[in-house]
A = this chain, B = another copy of it.
Amino acid sequence: MITYIFVTNRLLKIMRRDVFQAIADPVRREIIELLADETLTVNTVAQKFDVSRPAISKHLKILKECGIITINKQGRERFCHIQPKNLIPAFLWIEQYRNLWEDRLDSFENYLTKLQTKNKKNE
């Protein structure tokens, strides 16, 4: 959803939906997965799900609004293209904790190794 506000005589466009919200829904994640492989029309996407076409239309609108896909008109069909670079912000946010979980896994492995060494000594 896009909102417009006035700030000191200027019309500002506010993106209330972000990529985190976009990928929160499992249907939208599946749509992203589909479009990562190939460009599809709105109907083709809709046919791959149990929900109605308007429901898919809404999901596509949300994905479009936060830049994850673009929709190109061609005749009466709309082709949905993925714009993978707009997943980068979400990726970077999670990635900042990568060292954290890798450290913890390391220390867990160390713990296991020590445990095994200890057990061997006791044999």
Contacts and interface: CB of A to CB of B under 8 A. Distances in A.
A25 to B, nearest CB: 8
A12 interface: no
B29 A93 contact: yes
Contacts of A116: none
A104 B85 contact: yes
A1 B32 CA distance: 18
Interface in A1-60: 1, 20-21, 23-24, 26, 29, 32, 36
Q: How many copies does the complex hold?
A: 2
A23 B26 contact: no
Interface size class of A (residues with CB under 8 A): 20 to 34
Contacts of A29: 20, 93
Interface of A: 1, 20-21, 23-24, 26, 29, 32, 36, 82, 84-85, 87-88, 90-91, 93-98, 100-101, 104-105
Q: Which 7 A-B pairs have the closest CB atoms?
A: A24-B24, A84-B101, A84-B100, A85-B101, A91-B94, A84-B97, A20-B24
